[in-house]
Amino acid sequence: MTITEVGSPRRRKEDARLITGRTMWTENVVLPGMLHLAILRSPVAHAKITRVDTSAALNEPGVVTAFSGRDVADVQGSLPCAWPVTEDMVHPDHPPLAVDEVRHVGEPVAVVVARSRAAALDALAAIDVDYESLPVVLDLEAALTEDADLVHLDKGTNRSYTWIFDSAEAGSGGAVGAAFDGAEVVIKRRYRQQRLIPAFMEPRSVVVDPTGDQYTIWSATQIPHILRFLVSVVTGTPEHKVRVVAPDVGGGFGGKLQVTPEELIAFVAAKRLGKPVKYTESRSDSLMAAHHGRDMIQDVELAARRDGTVLGLRVKLLANMGAYLGLVTPGVPILGAFMYNAIYKFPAYRFECTGVFTNTVFTDAYRGAGRPEATYAIERIMDELAVEVGLDPIEVRRRNWINADEFPFTTVAGLTYDSGDYSAATDKALELLGYDDLRREQAARRESGDPVQLGIGVSTYTEMCGLAPSRVLGSLRYGAGGWETASIRMLPTGKVEVITGTSPHGQGHETAWSQIVADQLGVAFDDVEVLHGDTRTSHKGLDTYGSRSLAVGGIALYNACQKVIDKAKPIAAHVLECDPADLEFAGGQFRVRGNPDGGKSLADCALAVFAAHDLPDGIEPNLDADAVYDPDNFSYPHGTHLCAVEIDTQTGRVSIRRYVAVDDVGRVINPLIVEGQVHGGVAQGVAQALFEEAVYDDDGNLLSGTFVDYTLPSAADLTDIVTDRTETPAPGHPLGTKGVGEAGTIASTPAVVNAIVDALRPYGVRDIPMPCTPERVWRALNGGVA
Amino acid sequence: MTRISLRVDGVRYDDDVEPRTLLVHHLREQLGKVGTVVGCDTSNCGACTVLMSGPDGKPVGVKSCTVLAVQADGRDITTIEGLSGPDNTLHPVQRSFHERHALQCGYCTPGMIMAAVDLLSENPDPTDTEIREGLEGNLCRCTGYQNIVRAVRDAASAIRSGGESAEPAPPTPEAVDAATPDGGLPPDRVPEEAVPHPVP
């Protein structure tokens, strides 16, 4: 078969509507008779609601209805958590509208529905709520003490769960205690994963349209299929009466991997009124009430020999759940559990994570979900090991990583890494950075006492993506599978419609999927249309997150293509009057083997099926095909990111001088899209290292509640990076693809912070808490508390 | 309610608006110009950037969430929907954003493109640093900006070498007058939407 499309930097099909303003965002949906919903949110972090009076709001102009949580307590249901990570996990109710108590600032308390958004917002001021203050729980360690105040009074504890993995118990490695007992070197560090906000650019928006007993929900979501299933389960609405449409969605980064209070509130309101209702959040609402990410305390201990060989790893996490459990809140740190050992051959490993409730908005998936945290901790402490044993940080990694000839490799965490070549990626990165030259320059600057110091940060990462083998998810007590679907509809003119169960929101599936189909079916790129994000056309799917769409959904698509070819073959043979066994399919043509002339194209077969005048006996006149693919393993992209920073020791300002990303994401369908994913991923990881932090004050008020205070980097804050790739195809499936959506974010944060610490080691600095703002760097340099 | 008259993407619109109405809400909710989007409520993100003629008729990039609709009375406004040429040929900046993969989710894109058009009309040959600083008021969460910088550089070069103007439609001296009720386009070019209609 001639491959022409796969590997080519096709310009995206999606762009045409996005660059001309013809995009269908949920906020652009306008329906006849549509009403607008506004939400009154809690101004306090923890309080009993003693009274809510919405009557005055009903007299405001244009107001159709107003209600509180108590008014809908019996019908609103409780928001779902799909990942009860342990049997005894404490899982509090999570009403979309608070009923008796509010547990974080921004929690929805009451709503107004009115003829316009302005009228609804105006009328919120007429709602009267009385709160009776309760103690606010914010500190993770204090929350676990015996006499701690409680987030959920009825639960008697702020501990949601403790989840443990031990390699000796699992049979995947030795006993970690023994490893530490015999160690020549033990390094112990505490790292803090600050709280981040996904901050997708399109604020969340939802429109619910009740028509008879059918509900159509438009939502700016990453997960239309999961949303449909869970709306049905939570509200008791039969699944076939719920249609979910995710039209064009403006970014997600895990932040739209959620069944949100706002979606269910809009659903309840629309159902009560029998009218379409729209809710679109403001940015301030979004930063305050859409789920946050990260927020963990990581205690990491590493045992090694004096020659730098690692012997054991002990990780103890406190993970901030926030006030409630979102869709996969408890599972996010558990996804990281399998990644702390990273690319290294640790013989023994123990991981323990405790999920803790606090009076903050709930946390959940944010780009990388667990793996950036794990990669940060291990890559930071590997640098500490290098210093401790007097090796270059690259050399200490070389001594411990899995060699290319050792794949497939079963790790101490029990995963089987499929393929990779860490040495190749690292060598390429070192060359692109000019590592040796920069080390010489660093030495010279140290020598001369230059006020601008140079640091070089190393991050050699891998990750598990392609979520996920359904059996593995089952063993981790996750509530769903990890398969993906694709359908192909062959139109009579030879054009192709593809229906995918993935749900893109910036990833370019329409383009990449078209490239795969064009090659497999031998049709033109432009003759393929990819349909997604509407449960009416795509009834089945598990959506887009965890760098899974291509690694899982792409294989389903490939398999569906083969089924179409198999179905067309007997029809082509019939027309060509030959035995199907004598036919081969290449470049869109069926030909008799050894005879280059006189073939029949797939389009010919599609037309023959449409007419159905002359088909072989007993053949169904249909070329359409469905496929569902359930992977038997995750996929494991890897790579080496190197960052050189300059630090002005007088001001604490950090500037990235050069950043090199060499990623191995398996075979690449579209290098343009892959590069774009790396650019954006690195930018978000750099932002964690240098710029972003969601901060609550001592009363639980969000201080970083606007883009003035939650500082997303602008173009002026970032610099060009150098990207390159090595390519080790994933061996488990025909496309050889791995996944790239999260790699940049996973790799870059430790690369930057390692560079900063590397620059400042002569000053006695060995850690700076993120984000490494000029103030924190300056304080660290001047011996203060960072 | 206050009576205002705007010319948006070449079409005259006369409407009554509440004095507190933001230009972006007027564009989106009354004029149906939903290509322009709202990304924040503190004028940090720039997703709502459009070009608005100043008193001298020259178009300048503004964040339409920081302009009251009444302040735009009598002005000529170009949104992302009016940027393409008369036969729907893409503006050089639109073309280069596509060519350079300078967008992913595309939500910031209308504002980013309009800000880039504004930048290039001020500075036809910007350095990368000038591009980065010139677009500082527009946030993108997907791309890391690298391809946006490339795209703007390409567009600058295309505009310079091709004799194409960065400005979508060179403003005519009549532009400002034309936006007033008496100025107007020839009757055959005034579409139905321009007929004054009550606020819903």
Residue of A nearest to B47 (CA): A201
The answer to whether the CB atoms of A706 and B105 lie below 8 A apart is no
Q: What is the pLDDT of residue A378?
A: 98
Indicate the DSSP class of residue A338.
Answer: T
Mean pLDDT over residues B23-50, rounded? 98
Phi and psi torsions of A268, nearest 5°: -60, -45
Query: What average pLDDT does the segment A570-589 reach?
Result: 95
The Cβ of residue A598 has, within 10 Å, a number of other Cβ atoms equal to 9
pLDDT band at A681 (very low <50, low <70, confident <90, very high): very high
pLDDT of A313 strictly over 80? yes
Query: Which pLDDT score is estimated for B167?
Result: 67
* CA–CA separation, A747 and A768 (whole Å): 18
Q: What is the architecture, at CATH level 2, of domain A31-134+202-250+256-289?
A: Alpha-Beta Complex (3.90)
Q: Measured in whole angstroms, how far is the alpha carbon of residue A767 from the centre of its chain? A: 27
How long is chain A?
Answer: 786
Chain-centroid distance, C-alpha B118: 9
Partner-chain contact A20 B84, CB within 8 Å: yes
Of A28, A506, A680, the CB nearest to B144: A680
Distance CA A39, CA A17 (A): 32
Q: Are B18 and A118 in contact (CB under 8 A)?
A: yes
What is d(CA A370, CA A417) in angstroms, rounded to the nearest whole number? 18
Distance between CA A654 and CA B35 in Å, rounded? 38
Amino acid letter, A457:
G
How confident is residue A784, by pLDDT bands cut at 50, 70 and 90?
A: low
Q: Which helix (H) or strand (E) holds B156?
A: helix B146-162
E-strand stretches of A672-778: 722-725
DSSP secondary structure, A405-440, as one string: GG-SEE-TTS-EE----HHHHHHHHHHHHTHHHHHH
Residue of A nearest to B112 (CA): A19
Size of interface A-B (CB pairs under 8 A): 168
Going by pLDDT thresholds of 50, 70 and 90, the confidence category of residue B75 is very high
Q: Comparing B189 with A218, which gets the higher pLDDT?
A: A218
Task: Give the distance from residue B174's alpha carbon to the nearest chain A alpha carbon, in angstroms.
Answer: 26
Token pair for A226: 């999961």
Our CA-based measurement puts residue B75 at a distance from the nearest CA of chain A, in whole angstroms, of 21
CA gap A553, A539 in Å, rounded: 15
Contact A248 B42 (CB under 8 A): no
**Long-range Cβ contacts of A232-235 (<8 Å, 24+ apart):** A233/A80, A234/A77, A234/A78, A234/A79, A234/A80, A234/A259, A234/A264, A235/A75, A235/A77, A235/A264, A235/A267, A235/A268, A235/A271
Q: What is the model's pLDDT at position A210? A: 98
The whole-angstrom separation of Cα A459 and Cα B14 is 59
pLDDT of residue A355: 98
The partner residue sitting opposite A11, judged by closest CB among B18, B99, B136, is B99
- Cis peptide upstream of residue B55 (ω within 30 degrees of 0): no
Percent pLDDT > 70 in chain A is 99
Q: Is the pLDDT of residue B11 over 80?
A: yes
Average pLDDT, chain B: 86
Q: Give the phi and the psi of residue A31 in degrees, each rounded to 5.
A: -120, 150
Q: Locate A548 and state its tokens.
A: 């899974």
Q: Verify whether the Cβ–Cβ distance B142 to A201 is below 8 Å.
A: yes
- Which tokens in the block code for residue A533? 């994000």
Contacts of B146 in chain A (CB under 8 A): 679, 718, 720-721
Kindly state the average pLDDT of the residues A500-516. 98
Q: What was the pLDDT predicted at A783?
A: 82
What pLDDT, in 10s, does the model give residues B89-117? 999 999 999 999 999 999 999 999 999 99
Q: Distance of CA A154 to CAs A31, A50, A90, A151, A472, Å? A: 43, 17, 11, 9, 33
Name the residue of chain A whose CA is nearest to B129's CA: A716
Give the pLDDT of residue B182.
36
Mean pLDDT of B67-84: 97
Q: Give the C-alpha separation, B58 to B49, whole Å.
A: 16
Q: Which CATH class is domain A483-629?
A: alpha beta
How far apart CA A764 and CA A679 sit, in angstroms, is: 33
Q: Do A706 and B40 touch (CB under 8 A)?
A: yes
CA distance B26 to chain A (A): 12
Q: Which chain A residues have a beta carbon less than 8 Å from that of B97?
A: 15, 19
**Average pLDDT in the A655-669 region?**
98
Query: A97 and A110 in contact (C-beta within 8 Å)?
Result: yes
- State how beta strands A600-601 and A589-592 pair: antiparallel
Inter-chain contact A715–B99, Cβ cutoff 8 Å?
Answer: no
| Strand A589-592 with A583-586, pairing | antiparallel
Omega within 30 of 0 (cis) for the link into A408: yes
Map residue A119 onto helix, strand or coil. Answer: helix
Residues of B in Cβ contact (< 8 Å) with A707: 40, 42, 44-45, 139
Return phi, psi of residue A250, to 5°. -90, 70
Q: Which helix (DSSP H) or strand (DSSP E) does residue A484 occupy?
A: strand A484-490
How far is B113 from chain A, CA to nearest CA, in Å?
8
Whether A483-629 and A293-467+633-781 are alike in CATH topology: the answer is yes
Q: What percent of chain B has pLDDT over 70?
A: 81
Contacts of B90 in chain A (CB under 8 A): 19-20
Which class for A579: exposed (0-12), middle (13-18), buried (19 or more C-beta within 10 A)? exposed
**Domain coordinates in residue numbering, chain B:** 2-82+169-182, 92-162
CATH number of B92-162: 1.10.150.120
Residue-averaged pLDDT of chain A: 97
Q: Is B35 exposed, middle or buried (0-12, 13-18, 19+ CB in 10 A)?
A: buried
- Select the CATH number that applies to the domain covering A293-467+633-781 from these four: 3.40.1190.20, 3.30.365.10, 3.40.605.10, 2.40.30.10: 3.30.365.10
DSSP state of A764: T
Write out pLDDT tens, residues B160-197: 998 666 666 543 334 333 333 333 333 333 333 333 33
Q: Which of A547, A541, A553 is nearest to A517 (CA)?
A: A553
Cα(A136)–Cα(B29) distance, integer angstroms: 41
Alpha-carbon gap: B153 to the closest alpha carbon of chain A (Å): 14
Q: Measure CB to CB from residue A21 to each of B44, B110, B149 and give the nearest one.
A: B110
Task: Take residue A526 and report the two structure tokens written for it.
Answer: 């432009």
Mutate to test the interface with B, among A11, A18, A23 (most CBs of B within 10 A): A18
- Over residues B1-10, the mean pLDDT reads 97
- Beta-carbon contacts of A707 under 8 Å, excluding residues fewer than 6 positions away, are A199, A283, A287, B40, B42, B44, B45, B139
pLDDT of residue B195: 33
Alpha carbon A646 to its chain's center? 31
The model's pLDDT over A596-609, given as tens digits with 9 standing for 90+, comes to 888 999 999 999 99
Pick the CATH number of B2-82+169-182 from 3.40.50.300, 3.10.20.30, 3.75.10.20, 3.40.250.10: 3.10.20.30
Distance to chain A for B173, nearest Cα, Å = 27
Cis peptide before A468 (omega within 30 of 0): yes
The amino acid at A260: T
Q: What is the pLDDT of residue A561?
A: 98
Chain B residues within 8 A of A249 when measuring between CB atoms: 105
pLDDT mean over A489-512: 98
pLDDT exceeds cutoff 60 at A703: yes
Quick one: pLDDT at residue A653? 97
A549 burial type by CB count under 10 A (0-12 exposed, 13-18 middle, 19+ buried): buried
Tokens 């010489």 -> residue: A440
Task: Sheet with A277-280: list strands edge to edge.
Answer: A63-68, A108-114, A35-41, A277-280, A205-211, A214-219, A242-245
A654 to chain B, minimum CA–CA distance in Å?
17
Residue B86: per-residue pLDDT = 80
Regarding beta strands A349-357 and A159-166, do their DSSP bridges make them parallel or antiparallel, or are they unpaired? antiparallel
Q: Measuring CA to CA, how many Å separate A696 from each of A359, A360, A630, A711, B158?
A: 10, 8, 42, 15, 48
Interatomic CA distance for residues A177 and A184, integer angstroms: 14
pLDDT of amino acid A131: 98
- pLDDT (mean) for A185-191: 98
According to the model, what pLDDT value does residue A182 have? Answer: 86
Alpha-carbon Rg for chain A in angstroms = 28
| Phi, psi (rounded to 5 degrees) for A684 | -70, -35
Average pLDDT over residues A34-53: 98
Distance CA A409, CA A173 (A): 13
Partner residue opposite B47 with nearest CB, options A116, A199, A201: A201
Please tell me the predicted confidence (pLDDT) of residue A732.
Answer: 80
The pLDDT, as a whole number, for residue B186 is: 33
- pTM to 2 decimals? 0.95
What is the b/e burial string over A614-623, where b = at least 16 CB atoms within 10 angstroms of the residue's CB? ebeeeeeeeb
The residue ranges of every structural domain in chain A are: 31-134+202-250+256-289, 293-467+633-781, 483-629
- Who's near A511: CB < 8 A, 6+ residues apart? A10, A11, A12, A13, A14, A670, A673
| pLDDT computed for residue A461 by the predictor | 98
Whether the per-residue pLDDT at A1 is higher than 70: the answer is no
Whole-angstrom distance, CA of residue A102 vs CA of residue A79: 15
With bands split at pLDDT 50, 70 and 90, how would you rate the model's confidence at B199? very low
pLDDT of residue A553 exceeding 50 = yes
**Token reading at A488:** 């192909």
Check residue B162 and give its pLDDT: 83
pLDDT higher than threshold 90 for residue A273 = yes
